[in-house]
Amino acid sequence: MSDNKPFEGRLALVTGASKGIGAATARALAAAGAHVIITGRNVKALETVEDEIHDAGGHATIAPMELAEQDAIARLAAAIAGRWDKLDIMVLSAAYLPMLGPVSQIEGKPLGEALTTNVLATQALLAAFDPLLKRSDRGRVIGMSSGVVDSPRPYWGAYAATKAASDMLLECYAQEVERISDIRVAIVNPGATRTAMRARAYPGEDPATVKPPEVVADRLVQLLVEDFPNRHREAIVNPA
């Protein structure tokens, strides 16, 4: 391990890594020396991220998957356990934003997809990778939150409810493992960030007015390098 490769010899898993914050985080972790397993639905996009990591001298393995597919997460965990004996870092970046609208008009299908991706997958990932995280001498989990959890706003009810539930799962898991393992959990609100999800939510916004995903990724890597107490929470604001 060296100062410029603080995660050399470490294994990281990043969900939602085909684009946005997940892709930027995967590249940043690889640049810091980690072997990064990148997951997402878009195979070509994952391959592009993998190529970028390899071209920069890093190491990555793609694992295309649909979080909503039954047993997909369990299969991924089994495959990783068959090749590696531990998992050091897990960043839960994948999320689904249903169409914004009044609570009285929320449709069941998009709400179900949001619940599956944002809540059920969070629980399944924690359950499936708990044994591998416990085998690490420094197992770290970072879950991405949202500002609408702490400051609810009109028309965001479906997304806010699912992200609040995801945060609660992470908080409870953190309390459950803190006395029996070396695992620590952080919940991070990335704030306004230049992503495809942000563009869908704010179609009239000038993307240049919000920070790029790399700012969030750099902060997550810094947080992991400096380390954090269990149940750490923070919001990442736009640079001045």
Q: What is the CATH number of the domain that holds 98?
A: 3.40.50.720
pLDDT category at 239 given cuts 50, 70, 90 is confident
- Once rounded to an integer, what is the mean pLDDT over residues 120-136? 98
Q: Which of 66-75, 117-126, 150-159 is predicted least confidently?
A: 66-75
Q: Please report, in angstroms and rounded to a whole number, the separation of the first and last CA atoms in the chain.
A: 33
Give the span between the Cα atoms of 16 and 14, in whole angstroms: 7
6, part of any domain: no
193, part of any domain: yes
At residue 204, does pLDDT exceed 80? yes
Residue 3 or residue 52, greater confidence: 52
DSSP labels, 108-121:
HHHHHHHHIIIIIH
Q: pLDDT digit string (tens) for 148-163?
A: 999 999 999 999 999 9
240, part of any domain: no
1, part of any domain: no
111, part of any domain: yes
Give the span between the Cα atoms of 193 and 212, in whole angstroms: 6
95, part of any domain: yes
Q: Which is it for strands 232-235 and 59-64: parallel, antiparallel or unpaired?
A: unpaired
| Mean of pLDDT over the chain | 96
What is the reported pLDDT for 240? 57
**Is 159 designated active site?**
yes
- Nearest alpha carbon to residue 124 among 166, 185, 177, 174: 166
Number of domains in the chain: 1
Q: Which helix (H) or strand (E) holds 64?
A: strand 59-64
The one-letter amino acid code at 183 reads: I
**What are the structure tokens assigned to 202, written together?**
């704010």
Q: Which helix (H) or strand (E) holds 43?
A: helix 43-55
**What are the structure tokens assigned to 59, written together?**
């190491």
The catalytically annotated residue of 96, 155, 159, 202 is 159
At residue 1, does pLDDT exceed 60? no
- Once rounded to an integer, what is the mean pLDDT over residues 223-228? 97
**HSE (side-chain half, CA atoms, 13 Å) at 160:** 16
pLDDT category at 4 given cuts 50, 70, 90 is confident
230, part of any domain: yes
Query: Do residues 199 and 207 touch, judged by C-beta distance below 8 A?
Result: yes
Percent of the chain with pLDDT over 70: 99
At residue 135, does pLDDT exceed 80? yes
114, part of any domain: yes
Range of the domain at 196: 11-235
Residue 239 or residue 97, greater confidence: 97
